[in-house]
Amino acid sequence: MKRALISVAMMAAISFGAVATELEITTENNHEREIATGEAIQDFVDSHDVSSWMFTNRLHVDLRTIPHSHPVLTLHTRNLEYLPSLYSTYLHEQIHWHLTANRDATEAAKAEIAKLLGPAKTGFPYGSDDEDATYMHVIVCYLEIDAMRKIFGDDTAAEVLAYWQKDHYTWVYEQVAAHRDALGAIIDRHGLRI
């Protein structure tokens, strides 16, 4: 497996009060789209204060993978043409790290969400492979859209939410849209909001 290091350090915060974050970005094949994706994420963290959502500074980009959070946060290149979706995918995978560090609270919140929403639709494009993982993704996706709202504002968050409702985790994102206040209350009650 060939991995190329494309960025290991930053100089300083660039603008908008951004916090300098040192990212270690590797690529699977050193493909131009992998490099461009890594650079787009580096630009994102350089130009916006995303420090609250940074739980790992390691990023791997693989042209052919499904994005995942562990053991190394890994993105594909599919969202390079629509940067808000790339940014939200990056935040989504970072948020998995937050929930992993708060397992008990996450489990308690998932139980409440299951009672609120009832049976979950699972499998592509609706949710994860099983109900438990689908309920966990309700938390992740809620926090992802909440992060987009805090970073970019209501309009961009709503646009990204609508985009994902037609792409993947469609049932999950529909629940985030339909039950925003109730889900927010559960997430707050268990101390999971970032």
pTM: 0.89
pLDDT band at 22 (very low <50, low <70, confident <90, very high): confident
Whether 96 is in a domain gets the answer: no
- If asked whether residues 42 and 73 sit together in one domain, one would say yes
Question: For residue 35, what are the domain limits?
Answer: 4-81
**Which pLDDT belongs to residue 3?**
43
In tens, the pLDDT along 23-33 reads 999 999 999 99
Q: What is the pLDDT of residues 162-185, one digit of tens each?
A: 999 999 999 999 999 999 999 999
Is 129 found in the same domain as 60?
no
C-alpha to C-alpha distances, 141 to 4, 26, 154, 178, nearest whole angstrom? 30, 25, 15, 13
The amino acid occupying position 114 is A
Closest among 178, 87, 193 to 139, alpha carbons compared: 193
Task: Tell whether 106 and 183 lie within a shared domain.
Answer: yes
Three-class secondary structure of residue 127 per DSSP: coil
Among residues 81, 111, 126, the one where a domain terminates is 81
pLDDT for the residue 147: 98
Do 62 and 132 lie in a common domain?
no
Task: Determine, yes or no, domain membership for 92.
Answer: no
In the chain, the N- to C-terminal Cα span, in Å, equals 35
Do 77 and 106 have their domain in common? Answer: no
Q: In the structure, how many helices (H) and strands (E) does the chain have?
A: 7, 4
Query: What is the rounded distance in angstroms from the CA atom of residue 159 to the CA atom of residue 142?
Result: 14
